[in-house]
Structure 1
Amino acid sequence: MQIKILDQVFECDNQVSSVEDVFDKVNQILTETKQHIGSLEIDGVEVYQDYIQYITANLDSIGTIVVNMKTLREMLEGALVSIQEYLSRAIPEVEILADEFYQGISQNTWEKFAQLFDGLQLIIDSIQIVSEHPELYSNVVKFVEIKDSIIEQLSLLQAALESQDRVSVGDLMLYRLIPSFQMLQGEIAASSNSGKIN
């Protein structure tokens, strides 16, 4: 198999140990260039995560792996764009979900609620990574405040669920979570539009 990064091509056998050796070199190049893996193009298929699993599952048939790199800024901006897109879809859905908690809960309500929790965790994790790079964002403090507020709201939502207080769950979503989402949208837009991303 061939593994391509920048202008270098490494040849290796389709064996785990050989691929690991080449990826040690790839990681060295990434460190030297201060870049990160954006994706791997494996025989024409873009893989954005779980690279090792994909490579291991398809090891015998892989012919070419192209390492697509991104700078830290590009990765963080991509994460913020993803959050912004998620929030645009999530806000109207959270309004509907809150209403379902007021009116009556169905299996679909619980599925959407679980998806909301997954989305919240992704937001928290992404903001944590952004907050570790104040050199790139002048409004990191605001991002952290919003993240901390979302964490607090998660705790309150869990407490309301444990006490089976559906009205409180709906209220928390409408009057605390949605405003936090809107504040986060504003901070992401401000950091992107006003040139505050260094």
Structure 2
Amino acid sequence: MKLLYKSEQFDLHNNVASITTIFEKINDFIVDNDIVFSHLIVDDVEVYENHEDYLKERIGEIIKVEIVTRRTKEMIWETMTSINIYLEGAIPALKVLVDESYEKFTGKTWEGINQLAEGMQWILQFTSFTKNTSQKPSNWTSIQKDVKECEESFSKLFEGVEVQDTVLISDILSYELTPAYEELQRDLAISLSDEEFMKNVN
């Protein structure tokens, strides 16, 4: 199989040892350049997670593996944009969830809370990643503060979930998490209006 990265090309055997070589190459590229690993394209299929398992399952038949990277600023910008779009849908959905939860808790309510938790995990991954880079978007201090407030709200929410206190859960969703999400969206919008940062991404 062939391993491709930009103009470079490597011939590898179709065996498990080559998987180690692929990830060693990815690490080398990251160390040598101001870039972040994004995903793999395996025989024209984009693979964003569980890369090793995906490769192992198909190791005997893979023809081509492409390494896709992003510049750090580019990754930050793309993720901020995605989170902003996510919040545009999540906030109205959260308000509906709150209204319904005050009337009655159903399987749909619990599923909604699970989905919110997954979204929060993604937001925390973004802040953890950005915190450890030298590239920070404008308004970063406010974004960090907002995410901390969201995280604290989730911590209280999970305490309510553990004891199945549905009134407490609804109150936290309504009076803490919704305003925290709205504030985060406002501060992300400020960062995304920073044309200088965007200009440097291109």
With structure 1 as the length reference, what TM-score do the two structures score?
0.90
Give yes or no for contact 1:38–1:68 (8 Å, CA) kept in 2: yes
> Take 2:58 and 2:10, find their aligned partners in 1: how far apart are those partners?
18
Give the deviation of 1:163 after TM superposition: 4.4
- Cα drift, residue 20 of structure 1: 1.7
Other-structure match for 2:8: 8
Could you tell me which residue of structure 2 aligns to residue 112 of structure 1? 112
Residues 48-127 of structure 1 mapped to structure 2, 5 A cutoff = 48-127=48-127
Mapped to 2, the partners of 1:115 and 1:123 lie a distance apart of: 13
Aligned to 1:35: 35
CA shift, 1:125, in A, is: 2.2
Q: Which residues of structure 1 form unaligned runs of 5+?
A: none
Q: What are the ranges of 5 or more consecutive residues in structure 2 without an aligned counterpart? A: none
**Shift in alpha-carbon separation, 1:132–1:195, aligned structure 2, 3 A:** farther
Distance 1:162 1:38 in 2: 36
Judged with a 3 Å threshold, the aligned counterparts in structure 2 of structure 1 residues 188 and 44 are, in CA distance, closer, same or farther, namely same
Q: Percent identity?
A: 28
Contact 1:15–1:59 (8 Å) recurs in 2: yes
Q: Which amino acid aligns with 2:142?
A: K
The 1:158–1:20 alpha-carbon spacing in structure 2 relative to 1, beyond 3 Å, is closer
Q: CA RMSD in A?
A: 1.9
1:39 shift after superposition: 2.0
Deviation at 1:136, TM superposition (A): 2.4
Number of the residue aligned with 2:194? 194
